[in-house]
Amino acid sequence: MHMMSERFAELDSLAERWGLSGLELVGKGLEFSVYRAQGRDGQPVALRLAHRRFDSNANDPHVDTRALLLQEYEIARHLTAHGLPVAEAKELVLADEPASPDVLLSAYVPDDGSDLDSFALGQLLARLHQVPPPRLTPVASEGLPTASAITARIGRRWAEIGHLVDDWPEPPDASLVTGHLTSLTGASLLHLDVRSDNIRRQQGQTVALLDWSNALLGSPSVEFGRLVEYARYPENELDVEAIRSGYARTATVPPDSDPCLMVCRLDAALMLALVFLSEAPDPSRGPAAADHARELALRVIARHA
Protein backbone atom coordinates (compact mmCIF):
# COMPACT_ATOMS: atom_id res chain seq x y z
CA MET A 1 0.00 0.00 0.00
CA HIS A 2 2.89 2.32 0.88
CA MET A 3 4.39 1.87 -2.61
CA MET A 4 1.05 2.67 -4.29
CA SER A 5 0.60 5.85 -2.22
CA GLU A 6 4.09 6.94 -3.27
CA ARG A 7 3.18 6.24 -6.88
CA PHE A 8 0.14 8.46 -6.72
CA ALA A 9 2.14 11.20 -4.98
CA GLU A 10 4.63 11.01 -7.85
CA LEU A 11 1.80 11.16 -10.38
CA ASP A 12 0.30 14.20 -8.66
CA SER A 13 3.66 15.99 -8.71
CA LEU A 14 4.09 15.25 -12.42
CA ALA A 15 0.56 16.48 -13.10
CA GLU A 16 1.42 19.70 -11.28
CA ARG A 17 4.68 20.07 -13.21
CA TRP A 18 2.93 19.56 -16.55
CA GLY A 19 -0.05 21.72 -15.58
CA LEU A 20 -2.54 18.87 -15.88
CA SER A 21 -6.02 18.75 -14.37
CA GLY A 22 -8.85 16.23 -14.11
CA LEU A 23 -6.61 13.16 -13.81
CA GLU A 24 -8.68 9.96 -14.21
CA LEU A 25 -7.88 6.28 -14.71
CA VAL A 26 -9.09 5.08 -18.14
CA GLY A 27 -7.30 1.75 -18.58
CA LYS A 28 -5.34 -0.89 -16.68
CA GLY A 29 -3.39 -3.83 -18.10
CA LEU A 30 -0.83 -6.34 -16.85
CA GLU A 31 2.09 -3.91 -16.74
CA PHE A 32 0.66 -0.41 -17.16
CA SER A 33 -2.17 1.89 -16.16
CA VAL A 34 -3.34 4.73 -18.40
CA TYR A 35 -4.69 8.02 -17.09
CA ARG A 36 -6.38 10.81 -19.00
CA ALA A 37 -6.01 14.46 -18.05
CA GLN A 38 -6.41 17.93 -19.52
CA GLY A 39 -3.32 19.88 -20.50
CA ARG A 40 -2.64 23.57 -19.96
CA ASP A 41 -3.80 24.21 -23.53
CA GLY A 42 -7.12 22.47 -22.91
CA GLN A 43 -6.15 19.44 -25.02
CA PRO A 44 -6.51 15.94 -23.54
CA VAL A 45 -3.34 13.99 -22.75
CA ALA A 46 -2.63 10.41 -21.68
CA LEU A 47 -0.20 9.25 -19.01
CA ARG A 48 1.04 5.67 -19.27
CA LEU A 49 2.31 4.53 -15.90
CA ALA A 50 4.28 1.35 -15.14
CA HIS A 51 3.00 -0.65 -12.15
CA ARG A 52 6.48 -1.99 -11.40
CA ARG A 53 9.98 -1.56 -12.80
CA PHE A 54 10.17 -5.29 -13.57
CA ASP A 55 7.22 -7.61 -14.07
CA SER A 56 6.48 -11.24 -14.84
CA ASN A 57 3.60 -13.28 -16.28
CA ALA A 58 3.02 -16.68 -17.84
CA ASN A 59 3.80 -15.44 -21.35
CA ASP A 60 6.75 -13.22 -20.48
CA PRO A 61 8.67 -14.13 -17.33
CA HIS A 62 11.06 -11.15 -17.53
CA VAL A 63 9.32 -7.86 -18.39
CA ASP A 64 11.35 -4.65 -18.23
CA THR A 65 8.63 -1.99 -18.15
CA ARG A 66 11.14 0.85 -18.58
CA ALA A 67 12.44 -0.72 -21.79
CA LEU A 68 8.82 -1.00 -23.04
CA LEU A 69 8.09 2.68 -22.31
CA LEU A 70 11.34 3.75 -24.01
CA GLN A 71 10.33 1.67 -27.04
CA GLU A 72 6.81 3.16 -27.06
CA TYR A 73 8.31 6.65 -26.98
CA GLU A 74 10.80 5.97 -29.80
CA ILE A 75 8.33 4.18 -32.08
CA ALA A 76 5.61 6.81 -31.58
CA ARG A 77 8.03 9.63 -32.39
CA HIS A 78 9.35 7.73 -35.44
CA LEU A 79 5.90 6.99 -36.84
CA THR A 80 4.59 10.49 -36.13
CA ALA A 81 7.46 11.81 -38.25
CA HIS A 82 6.36 9.46 -41.07
CA GLY A 83 2.71 10.53 -40.88
CA LEU A 84 1.34 7.31 -39.38
CA PRO A 85 -1.60 7.57 -36.95
CA VAL A 86 -0.25 7.05 -33.44
CA ALA A 87 -0.64 8.83 -30.10
CA GLU A 88 2.07 11.49 -30.33
CA ALA A 89 4.67 10.97 -27.58
CA LYS A 90 5.41 14.21 -25.74
CA GLU A 91 7.69 13.39 -22.80
CA LEU A 92 9.12 10.37 -21.00
CA VAL A 93 10.01 10.67 -17.32
CA LEU A 94 12.23 7.93 -15.88
CA ALA A 95 11.99 7.73 -12.09
CA ASP A 96 15.02 8.12 -9.82
CA GLU A 97 13.56 6.01 -7.01
CA PRO A 98 12.56 2.32 -7.30
CA ALA A 99 9.18 3.05 -5.67
CA SER A 100 8.36 5.81 -8.16
CA PRO A 101 6.85 5.04 -11.58
CA ASP A 102 8.23 5.71 -15.04
CA VAL A 103 5.62 7.77 -16.92
CA LEU A 104 5.06 8.45 -20.63
CA LEU A 105 3.08 11.58 -21.51
CA SER A 106 1.31 11.38 -24.88
CA ALA A 107 -1.51 13.05 -26.75
CA TYR A 108 -4.86 11.50 -25.84
CA VAL A 109 -6.69 10.37 -28.97
CA PRO A 110 -10.50 10.28 -28.59
CA ASP A 111 -12.53 7.36 -29.96
CA ASP A 112 -16.15 7.67 -31.13
CA GLY A 113 -17.02 4.02 -30.50
CA SER A 114 -17.73 3.35 -34.18
CA ASP A 115 -17.29 -0.07 -35.79
CA LEU A 116 -13.81 -0.73 -37.10
CA ASP A 117 -13.28 -0.47 -40.87
CA SER A 118 -11.09 -3.53 -41.46
CA PHE A 119 -10.47 -2.67 -45.14
CA ALA A 120 -9.04 0.72 -44.12
CA LEU A 121 -7.06 -1.01 -41.36
CA GLY A 122 -5.51 -3.27 -44.01
CA GLN A 123 -4.48 -0.21 -46.01
CA LEU A 124 -2.91 1.29 -42.87
CA LEU A 125 -0.96 -1.90 -42.08
CA ALA A 126 0.43 -1.92 -45.63
CA ARG A 127 1.64 1.67 -45.06
CA LEU A 128 3.14 0.69 -41.70
CA HIS A 129 5.05 -2.23 -43.20
CA GLN A 130 6.47 0.03 -45.92
CA VAL A 131 7.78 2.72 -43.54
CA PRO A 132 11.55 2.56 -42.91
CA PRO A 133 11.85 0.86 -39.50
CA PRO A 134 13.20 2.77 -36.50
CA ARG A 135 16.75 2.05 -35.38
CA LEU A 136 16.05 -0.03 -32.32
CA THR A 137 16.19 -3.60 -31.07
CA PRO A 138 12.59 -4.49 -30.18
CA VAL A 139 12.12 -5.56 -26.57
CA ALA A 140 10.16 -8.65 -27.66
CA SER A 141 13.13 -9.90 -29.69
CA GLU A 142 15.05 -10.47 -26.42
CA GLY A 143 18.23 -9.49 -28.27
CA LEU A 144 17.84 -12.25 -30.86
CA PRO A 145 17.04 -12.23 -34.60
CA THR A 146 13.26 -12.31 -35.00
CA ALA A 147 13.10 -15.94 -36.22
CA SER A 148 15.23 -17.09 -33.26
CA ALA A 149 13.10 -15.09 -30.82
CA ILE A 150 9.88 -16.64 -32.15
CA THR A 151 11.36 -20.17 -32.01
CA ALA A 152 12.56 -19.63 -28.43
CA ARG A 153 9.27 -18.27 -27.14
CA ILE A 154 7.24 -21.03 -28.84
CA GLY A 155 9.35 -23.52 -26.89
CA ARG A 156 9.08 -21.58 -23.63
CA ARG A 157 5.31 -21.00 -23.87
CA TRP A 158 4.67 -24.58 -24.97
CA ALA A 159 6.40 -25.78 -21.79
CA GLU A 160 4.43 -23.29 -19.68
CA ILE A 161 1.12 -24.66 -21.02
CA GLY A 162 2.40 -28.13 -20.11
CA HIS A 163 2.30 -27.05 -16.44
CA LEU A 164 -1.37 -26.12 -16.80
CA VAL A 165 -2.84 -28.77 -19.14
CA ASP A 166 -2.88 -32.52 -18.51
CA ASP A 167 -1.43 -34.86 -21.15
CA TRP A 168 0.21 -31.99 -23.01
CA PRO A 169 2.38 -33.44 -25.83
CA GLU A 170 6.01 -32.79 -26.66
CA PRO A 171 6.59 -29.54 -28.60
CA PRO A 172 7.33 -29.37 -32.31
CA ASP A 173 11.06 -29.76 -32.89
CA ALA A 174 12.81 -26.38 -32.63
CA SER A 175 14.81 -26.99 -35.81
CA LEU A 176 11.56 -27.71 -37.67
CA VAL A 177 10.04 -24.44 -36.40
CA THR A 178 13.18 -22.52 -37.39
CA GLY A 179 13.13 -24.16 -40.82
CA HIS A 180 9.60 -22.88 -41.43
CA LEU A 181 10.75 -19.37 -40.57
CA THR A 182 13.39 -19.14 -43.30
CA SER A 183 11.12 -16.82 -45.30
CA LEU A 184 11.04 -14.42 -42.36
CA THR A 185 13.23 -11.87 -44.08
CA GLY A 186 12.93 -8.13 -44.35
CA ALA A 187 12.72 -5.61 -41.57
CA SER A 188 9.23 -4.14 -41.61
CA LEU A 189 8.05 -2.72 -38.30
CA LEU A 190 5.32 -5.10 -37.11
CA HIS A 191 2.81 -4.08 -34.42
CA LEU A 192 1.70 -7.63 -33.45
CA ASP A 193 -1.10 -6.53 -31.12
CA VAL A 194 -3.61 -5.21 -33.67
CA ARG A 195 -7.04 -5.55 -32.08
CA SER A 196 -9.96 -3.33 -31.19
CA ASP A 197 -8.62 -2.31 -27.74
CA ASN A 198 -5.47 -0.88 -29.34
CA ILE A 199 -7.20 0.96 -32.19
CA ARG A 200 -8.64 4.44 -31.63
CA ARG A 201 -11.04 5.38 -34.37
CA GLN A 202 -13.35 8.03 -35.73
CA GLN A 203 -16.14 6.94 -38.13
CA GLY A 204 -14.46 3.54 -38.44
CA GLN A 205 -11.12 4.99 -39.52
CA THR A 206 -8.04 4.28 -37.41
CA VAL A 207 -6.81 7.55 -35.91
CA ALA A 208 -4.23 5.97 -33.60
CA LEU A 209 -2.63 2.54 -33.30
CA LEU A 210 -1.71 2.14 -29.63
CA ASP A 211 0.60 -0.07 -27.55
CA TRP A 212 3.80 -1.14 -29.31
CA SER A 213 5.00 -3.52 -26.55
CA ASN A 214 4.81 -6.58 -28.84
CA ALA A 215 6.53 -4.98 -31.83
CA LEU A 216 9.13 -6.88 -33.84
CA LEU A 217 11.03 -6.33 -37.08
CA GLY A 218 10.42 -8.87 -39.84
CA SER A 219 8.14 -9.89 -42.69
CA PRO A 220 4.38 -9.18 -42.86
CA SER A 221 3.68 -12.92 -42.49
CA VAL A 222 4.31 -12.52 -38.76
CA GLU A 223 1.67 -9.77 -38.52
CA PHE A 224 -0.86 -11.77 -40.53
CA GLY A 225 -0.28 -14.91 -38.46
CA ARG A 226 -1.29 -12.97 -35.38
CA LEU A 227 -4.23 -11.23 -37.09
CA VAL A 228 -5.72 -14.60 -38.11
CA GLU A 229 -5.57 -15.84 -34.52
CA TYR A 230 -6.88 -12.61 -32.98
CA ALA A 231 -9.80 -12.63 -35.44
CA ARG A 232 -11.11 -15.84 -33.81
CA TYR A 233 -12.28 -13.69 -30.86
CA PRO A 234 -15.22 -11.36 -31.63
CA GLU A 235 -14.15 -8.62 -29.22
CA ASN A 236 -11.07 -7.94 -31.38
CA GLU A 237 -13.41 -6.82 -34.21
CA LEU A 238 -11.13 -8.02 -37.02
CA ASP A 239 -12.35 -9.10 -40.46
CA VAL A 240 -9.23 -10.74 -41.89
CA GLU A 241 -10.56 -10.96 -45.47
CA ALA A 242 -11.34 -7.22 -45.45
CA ILE A 243 -7.89 -6.51 -43.96
CA ARG A 244 -6.28 -8.57 -46.73
CA SER A 245 -8.29 -6.72 -49.39
CA GLY A 246 -7.23 -3.33 -48.05
CA TYR A 247 -3.61 -4.45 -47.70
CA ALA A 248 -3.56 -5.79 -51.27
CA ARG A 249 -4.25 -2.30 -52.64
CA THR A 250 -0.60 -1.32 -52.13
CA ALA A 251 1.33 -4.40 -50.94
CA THR A 252 1.55 -8.15 -51.38
CA VAL A 253 -0.53 -10.16 -48.94
CA PRO A 254 1.32 -13.19 -47.50
CA PRO A 255 -0.43 -16.36 -48.71
CA ASP A 256 -2.06 -18.71 -46.21
CA SER A 257 0.23 -21.44 -47.53
CA ASP A 258 3.34 -19.61 -46.28
CA PRO A 259 4.95 -21.92 -43.66
CA CYS A 260 6.18 -18.82 -41.82
CA LEU A 261 2.59 -17.58 -41.43
CA MET A 262 1.53 -20.95 -40.01
CA VAL A 263 4.32 -20.92 -37.40
CA CYS A 264 3.38 -17.34 -36.48
CA ARG A 265 -0.23 -18.46 -36.03
CA LEU A 266 1.09 -21.10 -33.61
CA ASP A 267 3.14 -18.44 -31.81
CA ALA A 268 0.02 -16.27 -31.40
CA ALA A 269 -2.18 -19.23 -30.41
CA LEU A 270 0.19 -20.27 -27.62
CA MET A 271 0.25 -16.70 -26.29
CA LEU A 272 -3.57 -16.55 -26.29
CA ALA A 273 -3.84 -19.97 -24.64
CA LEU A 274 -1.68 -18.73 -21.76
CA VAL A 275 -3.78 -15.58 -21.48
CA PHE A 276 -6.96 -17.65 -21.06
CA LEU A 277 -5.34 -20.34 -18.90
CA SER A 278 -3.34 -18.09 -16.58
CA GLU A 279 -3.35 -14.30 -17.04
CA ALA A 280 -7.10 -13.87 -17.47
CA PRO A 281 -8.42 -17.37 -16.70
CA ASP A 282 -11.49 -18.41 -18.67
CA PRO A 283 -12.87 -21.91 -17.97
CA SER A 284 -14.15 -22.41 -21.52
CA ARG A 285 -11.71 -20.37 -23.60
CA GLY A 286 -8.58 -21.66 -21.85
CA PRO A 287 -8.86 -25.37 -22.70
CA ALA A 288 -10.28 -24.59 -26.16
CA ALA A 289 -7.34 -22.26 -26.91
CA ALA A 290 -4.86 -24.94 -25.79
CA ASP A 291 -6.58 -27.53 -28.03
CA HIS A 292 -6.40 -25.10 -30.94
CA ALA A 293 -2.68 -24.46 -30.37
CA ARG A 294 -2.05 -28.22 -30.29
CA GLU A 295 -3.94 -28.60 -33.58
CA LEU A 296 -1.85 -25.83 -35.20
CA ALA A 297 1.34 -27.54 -33.98
CA LEU A 298 0.24 -30.75 -35.73
CA ARG A 299 -0.31 -28.74 -38.93
CA VAL A 300 3.18 -27.22 -38.61
CA ILE A 301 4.66 -30.72 -38.19
CA ALA A 302 2.59 -32.06 -41.13
CA ARG A 303 4.01 -29.33 -43.38
CA HIS A 304 7.39 -30.96 -42.89
CA ALA A 305 6.23 -34.53 -43.46
| pLDDT, tens digit, 9 for 90 and up, residues 184-209 | 887 899 999 999 999 999 999 999 99
Q: Is CATH 3.90.1200.10 the classification given to domain 118-304? A: yes
Specify the domain boundaries for CATH 3.90.1200.10 within the chain.
118-304
Between these two residues, 95 and 264, which has the higher pLDDT value? Answer: 264
- Torsion over CA of 150, 155, 161 and 162, rounded to 10 degrees? 170
Residue 129 has pLDDT above 60, yes or no: yes
pLDDT, one tens digit per residue, over 241-264 is 999 999 999 999 999 889 999 999
Put simply, whether the predicted model's pTM sits higher than 0.85 gets the answer: yes
Specify the domain boundaries for CATH 3.30.200.20 within the chain.
2-107
Give the burial class of 203: count Cβ atoms within 10 A of its Cβ; 0-12 exposed, 13-18 middle, 19 or more buried.
exposed
Q: Which CATH superfamily groups domain 2-107?
A: Phosphorylase Kinase; domain 1 (3.30.200.20)
Q: What's the pLDDT at 4?
A: 46
Q: How confident is the model at residue 267 (pLDDT cuts 50, 70, 90)?
A: very high
